């Protein structure tokens, strides 16, 4: 995620780890970025190049999970609502009839995944 420290790889990696532990097959944009050689210190390609790749992964998936950017002092410092990429992926998933979940992080219990109802 652009504008987030370390491209938000940490949040993507943590979410992928939790979902895999639950037995979910995961396509992680952060993992695909690293496979293509993208690092936080390297300028990214234009957004649309990543979106084309991500749309192809969404087409193969049953659902997507929306995750927030990062937390600072226990609060969300950047939400997926502020991400052009996440919003484009959400629109693509909805048009393709995919299920959409939103990650909600509880300070004590950790993450939970709730079906997105079209509201923030």
pLDDT digits (tens, 9 = 90+) for 19-41: 999 899 999 999 999 999 988 88
- Per-residue confidence (pLDDT) for residue 52, from 0 to 100: 96
Q: What is the pLDDT of residue 16?
A: 94
What pLDDT does residue 39 have? 86
Residue 42 banded pLDDT, cuts 50, 70, 90: confident
Distance between CA atoms of residues 79 and 81, nearest Å: 5
Residue 71 pLDDT greater than 90, yes or no: no
Name the percent of the chain lying above pLDDT 70: 82
pLDDT value, residue 24: 92
Radius of gyration of the chain (CA): 14
Q: How far is Cα 3 from Cα 32, in angstroms, rounded to an integer?
A: 18
Residue 13, Cβ density class (10 Å: 0-12 exposed, 13-18 middle, ≥19 buried) = middle
Q: How far is the C-alpha of 52 from the C-alpha of 5, rounded, in Å?
A: 23
- For the ranges 38-52, 62-76, 78-92, which has the lowest average pLDDT? 62-76
Look up residue 71 and give its two tokens. 């937390």
Q: What is the mean pLDDT of the chain?
A: 85
């Amino acid at each position: 995620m652009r504008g987030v420290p370390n491209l938000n790889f940490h949040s993507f990696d943590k979410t992928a780890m939790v979902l895999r532990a639950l037995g979910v097959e995961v396509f992680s944009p952060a993992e695909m970025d690293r496979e293509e050689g993208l690092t936080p210190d390297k300028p990214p390609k234009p957004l649309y190049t990543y979106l084309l790749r991500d749309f192809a992964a969404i087409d193969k998936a049953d659902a997507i999970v929306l995750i927030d950017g990062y937390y600072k002092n226990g609060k969300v410092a950047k939400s997926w609502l502020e991400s052009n990429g996440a919003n484009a992926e959400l629109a693509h998933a909805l048009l393709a009839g995919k299920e959409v979940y939103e990650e909600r992080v509880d300070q004590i219990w950790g993450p939970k995944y709730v079906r997105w109802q079209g509201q923030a």
